[in-house]
Chains A and B, each alone.
Chain A
Amino acid sequence: MVRRNIAVDYPLALLALGLSLAGVATVYSAGQTDVSTGLVNLWRTQALYLALGLGAAWIVSRVTVRMLDYLTPAIYGTTIAVLTLLLFVGRGAGTGQHTKSWIYIGDVSIGQPSELAKIAVVLMLAKVLSVRGETPSTLKEFWRPALVVGAPWLLIMLQPDLGTGLVFIGVFFAMLFWAGTDWRLLVLAASPVVSLVLAFSTGLWGAWFLLMLALVLWVKPFILESIAVVAANLVMGVVAPIVWSRLSAYQQRRLLVFLDPSSDPLMGGWHVMQSQVAIGSGGWLGKGFTAGSQKRLGYLPEQQTDFIFPVVGEELGFLGVVLVLGLFAWLMMRCIRVAGRSKNPFASLVAFGLVSMIFVHVLINVGMTIGVMPITGIPLPFFSFGGSFMLACWLAMGLMIRLSVEGRGRADTFVI
C-alpha cells in the first residue's frame, strides 16, 4: 500500500479548524432561541458540512499544483456550464427565495454552485495571468482576465446574486494586483464604478473626476483608453443620476431589490439597527454564550447565516470579536505568506486569489453587521451556516495547504 504524506502547514490548518469549530458553536448558539426559529438542530448539520469540507480539503491537498494547473480549464468550463444551466433549473432557497442560486434534485437542494464557482474563477484567473509572460500593462490587456471573471460574473448577476458578484470583482482586482499590474491602472479600471457610487453628490463626484484626470495624465495610457476611462466616468457621474432620478420610487426600489434581493430597503435599515443593537449591547465581555437577548428573541435577521457575527458580538463581547477577527487576520496573513513564498506564479496567484476571496467575505459580512458596509447577502467564512460555502472554504484551505507544501519546496514524501 502506498501512502502519500505531505508536510501540512499546521498553523494554517489549525487556524481554519479553530475558526470552523467556533463557527459551529456559534451556529449552535444561533439556534438557542426563545422563539421558535427551527434552528435548534442546525449545528449538527453544520458539523456534518464541516466534516465533508475537511474530507474534501484532505483530497484536494493530495492534488499536485501541476495537476491542478492541468485541470483548471476543465473545472472552469464545467463551472460555466453549471451556472448557465442554473439559470434554467435554479431555484431559490433559504435567504434568497427569489433567486435562482440553488440546484435541486427532486425536492432536495444540493447546493449553491456559485460558491464553488468562486474557486474555479480564482484558478482560471491564475492560469490566464500566469500563462502570459507579461503582466497586463494597459487597460486593453485586461480583456482576457476580464473575460474569465466576466462570464461567470454575468451568469451569477442574472440569478441574481450581488454579493457573490462583488466577491468576483474584489478577487479580480486583487489578482491583477498580485500579478504586478500598476495599481494606478487598476484604479483607472475601477474608476467608473467609484463614479457611480459617488454620483449622488456632485461635489464628491467632481473631486473624484479631477483626481481621475490627474491620474490619467500621470499614467499616460493610450489616448483611446484615456478617453474611454474619462467618458465612462462622465457617463456614470452625470447620466446615471439623471436616469435614476427619472425613475419613480417604486422603480428604484424594484431595481435595488433586483440587484440584491436581501436588501429590502424598508426592512434593511431595521435589520442593521437590530444587528448593531445586538453587537453594541454586548459590551466588553458580552452577555455570555447562548445568552444574547437580541438573538434569543428573534431580533436578529438571519442569525444563522448572514447575520451570524452579531451573535458573536452580543454574546462574547468586544473581546470575542477581537479574538475572532484576530484569528481571521492571522489566517489571512498565513495565506499571504504562502502566496509570497510560492516559486510557481500559478500557485502564488491561486493562493492570493483565495485569500482575497476570504478577505472580501470577511470585510463585507462583518462590516455589514456593524453598518459600515452595504447589506449584501454574503456569508462569513467558517461561520455562516451552509454546505456549499463551507465546502468552498475548506476546498480553498485544502488548496492552500497544498500550495504551502509545494511553495516551501518540500516535495511529497512517499511512504511505502
Chain B
Amino acid sequence: MNRWLTRRWPAPHWPSIRGRARADAGPLLLTAAVIAAVALLAGAVPALLRAAADDAVQDAVRRAGNDANVLVHADWERDDGPNGGRIRTAGLADDVEDFRARATYALGADLDAALLPPVAVVSGPILSITEGSVPRTFQFTYLADDRDGPAVTWIAGSAPGSPFPDEPVEAPYDGPPWPVQVGLAETAAAALNLGPGDRLPVKDGQGRDRDVRISGIYRPADSTDSTWRLAPALLGPLPGADGVGITRFAGLLSRESLPDARLAVDQDQLRRTVHFAPEPGALTWDTTAALANQVVALKAASGSSGARDGSLRWESQLDTTLRDARTRGNAASAQAAVLLTGILTVTVLVLLLAAALLVHRRTPALGAARQRGAALPDLAAELTIESTVVSVSAAAVGLALARAVTPGVSWTWAVPVVLAGAVAGPAFGTLAAARASRDRRQPANPAARRWIRVTAQLRRAAVEAAVLIAAVAGFVTLHQRGLLPDAADGDTGELTGDLVLPISALALGGLVGALVLLRLLPLGARFALRQALRSRRPLAVFSAARAATTAGRALPLLVLVSATALASFALILGSTVTRGLADGAWSTVGADARLDLGTDAQAATPALAERVAAAPGVQQVVVAQVTESARVFAESTLFTPRLVVVDAAAFQRLLATTPLPDAPALARLTAPAPTPGDVPALVLSNDSELRTGARLQLPRDDAPAIRLAAVGTAPAVGGAGDVVVVDATALAAAGLPAVANTVWVTGPGAARAVTNSGVAADVVLRADVLRAQRVAPLTAGLLRLAWTAAAVLVTLGLLGLLLAAAAGTSERWHTLVRLRTLGLRPRDARWVAAGELLPPVVVTAGYGPLLGALLARLTLGPLDLRLLTGQPGDPATVLPWWLLGLVGVVLLAVAATVVPVESALRRRDRLSEVLRAGE
C-alpha cells in the first residue's frame, strides 16, 4: 500500500520534449507524412468502395432489365352466368386497376419507394396464325399504367372497341367464337398484310378458331417507352419468341375490347400480371439486403398457384439480382480489404523502422538524460506525448483530406497505423534509454555469452513461429471459408471478425516470406564471405564482411521484402482482372464484332456476310442462328440453352483467330451421328446436366421433334451457361433450315465493317463491351485500388530502403573509416559500402516478385475475381513480368544512388569526426 501511495505520476519535462522535436523535426515530419498519406488512403477507400457498391447495385438492376421486375399475378373470378354461359364483364379494365392498386398496397413502403409505378399487363394465350408458309404466333395484350397505357397514333382505322353495350351480356359456352377487336402495329400489319376490318386467321392450342379482328393500325408515339418492354411484340414482329424460326405478332387491346378478349378465350386463358420495374436511382447498397428479403417474403406469402381465387402470386428475380450485386460488392470489399491490409502491414513496418532510426539518433541524448537523473517513466511519458501528438494529428489531417475528396470517411482502418506511430517510438526510446544507463558489459564468461545468444535466438524463433502459425491459419481459413460474409450469420455488409484471419492471410504470407529470407540471407552472406576470404581481393572480403554483419537486421529486410512482394501481388491482381475483363469481352461477343439481325434483315444475311467479309481488315465472318432459351428436351427434362446453328467448319476457323478456347469437337458435328437420323450436337452446361452422350430432342410445331445426339463439349458462346451447338447443314438436312440472325466478324477491320454494313441490326463491338466492363463501378474501383496499392507499396518499400540506409549509415561509415585507418583508399570505401547495401536489394528484387507470384497463386482463387470480371470461372492468373521486373529495377536504381549520395554527403565529414562520433 505504501508503494502505491508513494508512487508518483510521470512528470514530463516539456522543454526536453520541445527540444527533441526541434532537433529531430525531419524524421518526425517524415513519420507524420507517412501516417497522413496512409490514413488518407485507408479512410477514403471504404467510402469510395461503398459509393461504387451503390453504383454497382444500380448498374446490376439496369442490366437485368425486365428480369429484375417484381411481378404479381392473380386469377380472375369465374364469369359463369345464370343461363349456362359466361357473363361479359364490362368493367373489366376497372377490375385490372383495382388489381394494380391491391398489388401496390401489398408491396409495403420500402419496396414501393424502390420501384416505379406499376404496369398491368393482361395477355391472352399464344395463338397460331393459320395462314402463311412460316410458323407465326399471335397474342393479344392489354397494357395499363398511370397514363392508361403507352401512347400510340392510329394511322389507319381506330382503337379497338366493342359492338356490345355496357349491360351484362351472356355468351353461351357452346356458342361461336366471341369476337374481339385489336390494334396492330404498323410493321406487324405490313408483315401480315392485314388492315382495319380484316379478321386475323388464328387457332388456339386445341385447334379451335378464334375471332380476332383488326380495328386499326397504330404507330407507337415513343417506341423507347419502357412499358413496351413488357410486351415487345406490340412494337412489331418478334422472331424466335416462341421457338426456333417462329415469329410472334401481337394485338393491342383497349379498355373497351378487354371484356371481349376474356370471352374470346377460355375461362382461365386470359392472364393478368402487374409489373413493378425497379427504380435504379432509389437503390443503394444499404437497402439491398432488406429489399431482397422483402421480395423473398412476398414470394413466400404468395397464394397457391392452384387456388382459383384473386389472391396475389408474386414472382421476381429482383432478390437474386440484388443478392448477386451484394455478393459482388462483398467480394470487392473483401478484395479491397486484402490490399489495404497489405498496405497497412508494410506501413506499420516502415513506421517501426522510422522509429528505430529516430531512436538511434536520440540514444546519446536519452543516455545523457538518464545520467542526469531522468526517470524512465518520465522519459517514456515524454516520448509518448510527442509520438501521440504527431500520429494523431497526422492521421487527422489524412482523414480530413479523405473526407474532403470522398463522400465519406472511415477511420477504422487508420487505427493500426496511428497505434504503430504512437507506440513504436516510445517503446524503442525507453528501451534505448534503459540500455544506455545499464552498466552491463560483455560477460567475460563464455557460457554467459552463449546463454545470452541462445536466449535471443529462442525469443526470435518464438516470434517467427507465431507469425508462421497465423499465416498458415489465415491461408487455411481463406481456402476453406473464403472471403464472402457468411449468409447464415446475416449479411450486414460489414467486415466481421471472422474475416480478419483470411483477409490477413496475404500480408502474413508476405511476412513469412520475408522471415524465410531473413533466415537465408545471413547464410548466403556468410557463404559469400567464406568465398571472399579465399580470394586475394581485400575489397571482396570487407564488402562480404559488412554484408554478413548487416544481413541479419530484421526490420529493413521485412519492409523491403513485404513491400516488394505485396506490390507484386497488387500488380498481378490488376493484370489478372484486366486480362479477365478482356477474356470476358471475347466470351460475351464471340468475335471482334457481332451483328444481331432483326427479322427484316435476316433474308439479306448471306449477302451481308459476303459484303462484310470483303471489307478490308476482316479475317473471318461466320453467320449463325442463335436462339436464346431454346426449348430442348433431354429425356423428359426441359432445358432452355442457347441454341447455336452454325457452319461448324467456319465456326472453328473463326475461333482459331480469337483468344477464345479452341473447340476441336466442332469437327464432330459434320461427321455422321452415332445413331442414324440423329443430328450431332455439342453441349455445354454449368451443372453438367447437358453432357456428352445425352440424347436430346428439339421440338417443332406441326412436325416431329428433331433428335440430337450430344457428341462433345461445346465452346462457350456469349458467356451462356447452357449451350447447344448444331451444324447448320446437318440441321437443314433434318428438316429445319436455319435462319441466320447473328454474324460474327474477326479482324482489325471488323468494327468498321459491321458499323458500315447498311443493315438494320444491333452492332455489338468487343471493344465497346470491354470498355463498359472496365468502367463498371466495382471493377473500375478495384482496378484503381490495385494500381494505387502497388504504387504505394513500392513507395513504402523505397522509403524503407532509404530509412534502412540512413539507419545504418553512421555505423557503416564508422566502419569504413576504421578500415581507412588500416589503409583503405576512399574510392575503395565506396565499393565496400555498395557491397554492403546492394546484396539484400538485389536478392529482394528477384525474391519479392517471386514471392508475390506465389502469394497470388495461393490467394487469387478464394478472392472470387470472377464476380468482377463476369467470367464463368476464375480468371487465369497473369504474371506481368515486365511490371514485376520494373519493381526490381526501381529498387536497384534507388539503392545504387544511395552510395554515391551518401559518399558525397560524408565527404565533408573529417575522418576524425566520424571516429569521435562513433566512440
Do A and B associate with each other? Answer: no
